[in-house]
Structure 1
Amino acid sequence: MHPYVAELIGTMFLVLFGNGVVANVVLPKTSGNDGGWIVIAAGWGIAVFIGAFCSSEFSGAHLNPAVTFAMYLADDSFGLVDGGGYIVAQMLGAMAGALLVYVFYREHFRTASDDPDGMRACFCTAPQIRKLPQAFLCETIGTFALILPIFLMVAPGFSSGPEPVDSDPVLGLGSIGLLPVGLLVFGIGLSLGGTTGYAINPARDLGPRLIHALLPIKGKQGNDWQYAWVPVLGPLTGAALAALVNALL
């Protein structure tokens, strides 16, 4: 499988399972309605595991422009063209995953027409306290807490792309290494996710936000473009800081 196709498929499943658990908890008349934050955090951890499991052998399982950006900064062999292709594939995969969530929960979206914020939460993130500089800081720290541990788990001699290191398929990790990354995302959700919904992934937020804007969802109200830069620039900033600290270690 081509690495770009793997990134698209992996990110699609990441968003399908991740935003799917949000929809299951937030939308009315689902069995998971009001399941709570722990259910959402657990679902996102599993979503990362599934997406990485599907793509690790072929692309290194970035599934996140912030991870791709950090790997580009850290590895001279991972070029700008490769990184750009990964990011485009991640965006397309995130949009496809968001569309599948909508198709799957379409009837439940219809019953949620009086809660536009809840419907939008099934696609993208929003801050609980609307102080954008603080939200930017939270996204930066959350992404730093994602990427620096990934660097530390795969060192020494990680592989930023599809080529395995010592036959290990994902960023220098063996297949058992996929579980720690999923647990890491679960932990970030539990500990650091309550302020902004922990996008920590520009594609995971921007791709579904675009789908929310395009879909004819009854009762939706706006896409909060004023906030949309935070879950893009915050994760990229956190990724750059993680790459810098890793270089200094």
Structure 2
Amino acid sequence: MNFGEIFLWEMLGTAALILLGVGVVANVVLKQTLGSGGGWLLINFGWGFAVFVGASIANPSGAHINPAVTLGLAAADKAEWADVPAYLLGQLVGAFIGAVLAWLTYKLQFDTHDEPANTRGIFATGPTVPNYAWNTVTEVIATFALVFWILLSPAAGPGDDGVPTFGNSALGYAAVAFVVVGIGGSLGGPTGYAINPARDLGPRIAYALLPIKGKGSPDWNYSWVPIVGPVVGGVLAGLVYLLLPAAS
């Protein structure tokens, strides 16, 4: 698959991921919506289903839709380093587009929201207790859990004597969606579980540029945490995977 094809499928898949992910947060946070006040559980499941949809769309490119996954797979020798720029660019552009589409969907609700300065959290993550070092550790751990699971997830296929064996892939992309829901419920409380640099950076840039009345700061001081943490966690998962006997 060439640069343009990888870019296209990753862009489309990541745009769908962010459209539905930012969309579910907007539905819960904004006041004049049917999902207003739906809570953390609705957000978790919304992001999980968003991963399912985005990954399904991006299947032709391998369904990375996350720079941490791309870098983790490359570190584990399961993706070509030469293809990494196409993946990362497609993911970032797609994340920006998805965030803009989510804003367009909820524009009237943004216009009538009574706390417009507090809308950054719809687009980007942030810590409940600010401490950049520990916030980074949280993102490293959560992203490691995601990428390591992806690397260890067995494929379905013929086993001994032609009898099929079914690994996690028997559930298709629903399996990783369940993992994302689990990570959100268990590890997402401290930082909002970005676990995906494009998921945070693309919508954060969109928030900075969109004409949202009375909006707050995009908080660039924190923006490096949901980039560095997931990158470290993803690469670390790939390197640990290489140490396992099954990887040889």
Q: TM-score, normalization: structure 2?
A: 0.89
Deviation at 1:175, TM superposition (A): 6.7
Give distance in 1, aligned partners of 2:125 and 2:78: 33
2:240 maps to which of 242, 245, 249 = 245
Deviations 1:161-194 (A, max 9, x none): xxxxxxxxxxx97573311101000100111111
Alpha carbons of 1:204 and 1:142: their partners in 2 closer, same or farther (altered >3 Å)? same
Deviation at 1:141, TM superposition (A): 0.4
Contact 1:139 1:231 in 2 (8 A): yes
SS in 2 for 1:225: coil
Report matched runs for 1:196-235 at 5 Å: 196-235=191-230
Unpaired runs of at least 5, structure 1: 157-171
Partner of 2:133: 133
Give distance in 2, aligned partners of 1:40 and 1:222: 22
2:72 maps to which of 70, 78, 95 = 70
Deviation at 1:244, TM superposition (A): 1.4
Contact 1:113 1:218 in 2 (8 A): no
SS in 2 for 1:226: coil
Q: TM-score, normalization: structure 1?
A: 0.89
Matched to 1:74, the amino acid is A
Partner of 1:150: 150
2:32 maps to which of 29, 33, 36 = 29
1:48 maps to which of 33, 44, 51 = 51
Give distance in 1, aligned partners of 2:170 and 2:144: 23
In terms of mean alpha carbon deviation, does 106-115 or 239-248 score higher? 106-115
Give distance in 1, aligned partners of 2:213 and 2:236: 41
Deviations 1:169-223 (A, max 9, x none): xxx9757331110100010011111110100000000000001011111011211
Deviations 1:64-89 (A, max 9, x none): 00011111111276123x10111000
State which structure, 1 or 2, has the greater radius of gyration over its C-alpha atoms: 2
Q: Superposition RMSD on alpha carbons, in Å? A: 1.8
Matched to 2:63, the amino acid is A
Deviations 1:90-124 (A, max 9, x none): 0000000000010000011112252422x111110
Partner of 1:122: 122
In terms of mean alpha carbon deviation, does 237-246 or 97-106 score higher? 237-246
Give distance in 1, aligned partners of 2:147 and 2:47: 16
Give distance in 2, aligned partners of 1:36 and 1:113: 18
Contact 2:151 2:241 in 1 (8 A): yes
